[in-house]
Structure 1
């Protein structure tokens, strides 16, 4: 781990600052939107706009990088982010915010692709797994830290919009001044969605559902908390609890994933996730119970993304693992676009508690579909007595194609090593 920090500290510091800036502006949108009098449904559309931009950026940024290089793409997109953040408190109408959120989502996606490419290039094959794990921790730590910054200014003013703009601008310095050389950017051929669904229906459907769950958490939790009457300090603590849960429970779930039937674990995690939403719905008026619900909700949903990818890989040939990553990422992005809009509509009909109802329903759909799939296909564990699963790798649902492909490379390397050991 020390060697990872020695090789990549500048890149990791830059990514930490980026995540703090993104985490702060994401929460601030929900709080400031309520102050400006935006309706719940308008805020849900504004939230969804980020994921529209993010999905578009993940598809187009690699082409930009190939044409003009990492440095120019990074600097250009970063400038747009800083400018958009400053414009938020000036253009306080839903249409302007929607456009700005599309721009920010697009630019953050491109910036993440660029930075993750550098990070991947700065490490060795032997340290790639540790680097991915540390990167995951940095992502979550940045979002949690951002919630603390929400308390240092007035959401109705300008200061809280200036802070993420400055953080994003400053984050470029350690990355661009790093001695790590600019990497060559290559992408793998993507697998068609039809092929991906045929190989792993649960992986496909589960990733689609999870995209909606994660985007609702990331984008609508502040809207829910504002409508529920929480103070700014309480909102920041509640949202932090979601990502702390994701950070703390990622590794215990990963450990279990490598030691049991992953379909069973998917069902268990989804049941606990649905239970946490039921807890938030029934007892969310008690702030302590609300934090417990948030911790469990985040702790179940975020690791579920890595688990679904690992499960899908159980049914892939080694040579297809990298190609499948693009399809899974795209499916997750499609779910993420729809999640906030549906959440906003339900909250409009039911009030703020609709936030919990939506997540609970999706978790239960995940349980029922996983249970259905157990009746349609024999588990790989049952099919092969000497089966050894390819180890779980921690990935965030907000990661770009670069991080997902790095994880797939780890799967491929491990699968090949396991095959060689079997031959001997």
Structure 2
């Protein structure tokens, strides 16, 4: 791990700062929107727009890089992020915020794709798994740190929008001054979705449901916390708890996934997360209960992403993994777009409990479907399963590609042994 950090410290530092900026703006909008009189449904559209922009950019950015190169794409999109962040406090309108969030989602995805392509280019067969782990730690740490900045005094109502803008701008310096341009990469044509579902029904259904759960955490958690009357300090702790849980529980679940039927682990993790959401529905008035539930939901739902991808890979030929990853990313993205919209409607109709209601329904549905799939076919033997790679639901095609390369290399090494 030290060797990976030594060779890519500038990239990791830049990504840490980017995640602090991105994590702060998402929570900040969730707090400020209701204060400006935006309804739950309007805020759901604002939050969903980010994931729509993100998904669109995952298809567009490779073409942009091929045309003008990594450095220009990285600098241009980053500058646009800084500018849009400063427009939010000036344009207090849900339509303007929705457009701004779509642009932010597009730009951040493009920035991630570019930076992650540098990471992939610098990784070797021996360091790829460690690079993925370190990259995930930087992402999670950045979002957690961002929540602490939410309590910075801001009497003007403008300062907290300036901070992420500055952080994003600063993040470019260590990256652009230390990395060299990499060759443009070719994207893999996605596997037909019908074929992908035939290969792994649980992977497809699970990733769609999980997209909604993750987007709820990243987009609507602060909206929920604001509407139930939590203080700024409590909101920052509540939102951070999702990502602390993800950071703490990623590796234990990953260790278990290589030693048992992954469907059992998927089912148990989904039940645990769903049960935590149900407890929040019943005892949500108690802040310690909310925090503990957020920890468990984040700690189970985020590793589930890696689990579902690893499980799907168990039924794929090595040559099909790359094309399958593009299809899985699309399915997860569609779920991420729909998640905030459904939660916004539920919160508008039934009040704040609709937030945990959708999370509980999604995770428990996943658990039931995993139990059903266990009756339909046998699992591959433990010796035949692929490697678990820790990646997040916010992954771009590049990280998916790195994870699949890691799985392919591990499978080839095991065959050779």
The TM-score with structure 2 as length reference comes to 0.98
CA contact under 8 A between 1:122 and 1:180: conserved in structure 2?
A: no
Q: Distance in 1 between matches of 2:291 and 2:40?
A: 22
The 5-angstrom pairing of residues 211-290 of structure 1 reads: 211-290=211-290
The TM-score with structure 1 as length reference comes to 0.97
- For 2:390, the equivalent position in structure 1 comes to 394
Q: Distance in 2 between matches of 1:49 and 1:263?
A: 32
Displacement of 1:202 in angstroms is 0.5
The 5-angstrom pairing of residues 33-52 of structure 1 reads: 33-52=33-52
Displacement of 1:315 in angstroms is 0.2
Displacement of 1:368 in angstroms is 1.2
Unaligned runs of 5+ in 1: none
Q: Distance in 2 between matches of 1:188 and 1:59?
A: 11
Q: Distance in 2 between matches of 1:153 and 1:337?
A: 32
CA contact under 8 A between 2:118 and 2:179: conserved in structure 1?
A: no
CA contact under 8 A between 2:84 and 2:100: conserved in structure 1?
A: yes
CA contact under 8 A between 1:117 and 1:183: conserved in structure 2?
A: no
Q: Distance in 2 between matches of 1:189 and 1:60?
A: 13
Displacement of 1:286 in angstroms is 1.2
SS of the aligned residue for 2:352 comes to coil
Q: Distance in 2 between matches of 1:290 and 1:11?
A: 35
- For 1:407, the equivalent position in structure 2 comes to 403
Displacement of 1:360 in angstroms is 0.3
Unaligned runs of 5+ in 2: none
Instruction: Show CA shifts across 1:16-36 (max 9, x none).
Output: 000000000000011000110
Instruction: Show CA shifts across 1:339-365 (max 9, x none).
Output: 000001111111111111110001111
SS of the aligned residue for 1:360 comes to helix
Instruction: Show CA shifts across 1:130-175 (max 9, x none).
Output: 0000000000000000000111133870000000001111111111
- For 2:117, the equivalent position in structure 1 comes to 117
Q: Distance in 2 between matches of 1:12 and 1:187?
A: 24
The change in CA–CA distance for 1:173 and 1:282 in structure 2 (over 3 A counts) is same
Q: Distance in 2 between matches of 1:21 and 1:131?
A: 22
Matched, 1:136 2:136: yes
The 5-angstrom pairing of residues 87-98 of structure 1 reads: 87-98=87-98
Q: Distance in 2 between matches of 1:373 and 1:353?
A: 30
Q: Distance in 2 between matches of 1:389 and 1:198?
A: 18
SS of the aligned residue for 1:151 comes to coil
CA contact under 8 A between 1:133 and 1:394: conserved in structure 2?
A: yes
SS of the aligned residue for 1:387 comes to helix
- For 2:154, the equivalent position in structure 1 comes to 154
SS of the aligned residue for 1:157 comes to coil
SS of the aligned residue for 2:387 comes to coil
- For 2:360, the equivalent position in structure 1 comes to 360
The 5-angstrom pairing of residues 276-315 of structure 1 reads: 276-315=276-315
Matched, 1:76 2:72: no
Instruction: Show CA shifts across 1:276-328 (max 9, x none).
Output: 10121112211111111010000000000000000000000111111111001
Q: Distance in 1 between matches of 2:116 and 2:313?
A: 22
CA contact under 8 A between 1:16 and 1:139: conserved in structure 2?
A: yes
CA contact under 8 A between 1:196 and 1:204: conserved in structure 2?
A: yes
Q: Distance in 1 between matches of 2:64 and 2:105?
A: 16
CA contact under 8 A between 1:8 and 1:123: conserved in structure 2?
A: no
- For 2:182, the equivalent position in structure 1 comes to 182
Displacement of 1:183 in angstroms is 4.0
Matched, 1:2 2:14: no
Matched, 1:17 2:26: no
CA contact under 8 A between 1:216 and 1:340: conserved in structure 2?
A: yes
Moved more, 391-400 or 188-197: 188-197
